């Protein structure tokens, strides 16, 4: 595994050109990969990454399966893989029911829907050409097991580092050499750790509001925190959520602190056998400033 982390890049409207320039700089600096998160247009961003970079691997992290027909995604993925010289990987996920409901999309059963979608992708191979490796968005063990069964890798988001060795141990030994593992890690570089944690708490409010994430964190050892959060949500008291996110929990699923502390945290993630994908925020600016702060670490 590379000594460098991967980097999350988001194609924000009016700032896409600047993000592509930072992506090219990440390649020059030797970052391990580029991940395009599961918001609208991430396949379009990956199409641009194919042309502004030449050596770095990149992937959707993730493309929601309910957004597009698998045949359309397969052809797009095959195109990006071909024009990038095989550097593209297709990360797929079910996303979250509330996000899909806002779009008027119906979600079904995550495991069976994902299995069917991957089958649909592979069935479109003749029209798509050579397909890229497929990674599945993963939290709990059943989706990880499905990824081992039908895909080439698994990607977590906001995972607890203390729990990761237990999940990695589920992967059969014969698959571990080639099976891709990564985690999207919210990261803030600031020696004022309380200020950095405040950023993380704002980021994670939406995630602790989702039952699937709360169930994951309960398994990871944070049942008391998640139960208290559930009680606050049931009472309609969302304003209390940040105060219920303990420092121990925040520090287990994010990175924050000085340059040295963040660099050590990224290395600790790599030591689990899981590639950290730095999802950068800053206490003093936006995505571009946060990414430049990460560049300064290395």
From first to last of the 298 residues of the chain, give the pLDDT tens digit: 568 999 999 998 999 999 999 999 999 999 999 999 967 789 999 999 999 999 999 999 999 999 899 999 999 999 999 999 999 999 999 965 665 556 555 667 899 999 999 999 999 978 999 999 999 999 999 999 999 999 999 999 999 999 999 999 999 999 999 999 999 999 999 999 999 999 999 999 999 999 999 999 999 999 999 999 999 999 999 999 999 999 999 999 999 999 999 999 999 999 999 999 999 999 999 999 999 999 999 8
- Please give the pLDDT value at position 1: 52
132 Cβ neighbours under 8 A, 6+ residues apart: 77, 78, 80, 81, 86, 88, 89, 90
- Please give the pLDDT value at position 3: 85
Give the span between the Cα atoms of 100 and 40, in whole angstroms. 12
Give the span between the Cα atoms of 255 and 208, in whole angstroms. 17
Cis peptide before 62 (omega within 30 of 0): yes
Which parts of the chain fold into alpha helices (H)?
16-29, 42-52, 70-83, 97-102, 110-123, 125-128, 141-150, 164-168, 173-176, 193-208, 211-219, 223-234, 241-244, 247-253, 259-271, 287-297
Superfamily of domain 6-194+253-297: Luciferase-like domain (3.20.20.30)
Cβ atoms of 129 and 84 closer than 8 Å? no
The pTM for the full model equals: 0.95
**DSSP class of residue 54?**
S
- Please give the pLDDT value at position 102: 61
- Please give the pLDDT value at position 106: 66
**Up-side HSE of residue 211: CA atoms within 13 Å toward CB?**
3
């Amino acid at each position: 595994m590379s000594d460098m982390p991967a980097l999350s890049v988001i194609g924000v409207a009016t700032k896409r050109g600047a993000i592509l320039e930072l992506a090219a700089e990440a390649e020059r600096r030797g970052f391990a990969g580029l991940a395009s998160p599961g918001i609208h247009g991430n396949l379009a961003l990956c199409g641009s990454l194919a042309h502004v970079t030449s050596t770095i691997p990149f992937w959707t992290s993730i493309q929601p399966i309910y957004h597009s027909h698998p045949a359309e995604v397969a052809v797009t993925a095959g195109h990006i893989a071909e024009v990038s010289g095989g550097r593209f990987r297709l990360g797929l996920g079910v996303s979250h029911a509330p996000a899909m409901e806002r779009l008027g999309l119906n979600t079904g059963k995550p495991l069976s829907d994902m299995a069917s979608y991957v089958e649909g992708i592979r069935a479109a191979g003749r029209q798509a050409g050579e397909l890229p490796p497929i990674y599945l968005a993963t939290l709990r063990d059943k989706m990880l097991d499905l990824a081992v069964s039908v895909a080439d890798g698994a990607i977590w988001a906001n995972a607890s580092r203390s729990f990761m060795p237990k999940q990695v141990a589920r992967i059969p030994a014969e698959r571990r050499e080639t099976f891709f593992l990564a985690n999207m890690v919210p990261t803030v570089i600031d020696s004022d750790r309380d200020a950095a944690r405040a950023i993380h708490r704002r980021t994670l409010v939406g995630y602790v509001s989702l039952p699937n994430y709360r169930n994951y964190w309960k398994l990871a050892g944070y049942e008391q925190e998640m139960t208290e959060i559930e009680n606050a949500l049931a009472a309609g008291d969302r304003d209390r959520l940040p105060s219920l996110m303990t420092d121990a929990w925040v520090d287990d699923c994010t990175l924050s602190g000085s340059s040295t502390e963040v660099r050590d945290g990224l290395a600790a993630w790599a030591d689990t056998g899981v590639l950290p994908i730095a999802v950068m925020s800053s206490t003093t600016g936006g995505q571009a400033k946060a990414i430049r702060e990460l560049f300064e670490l290395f």
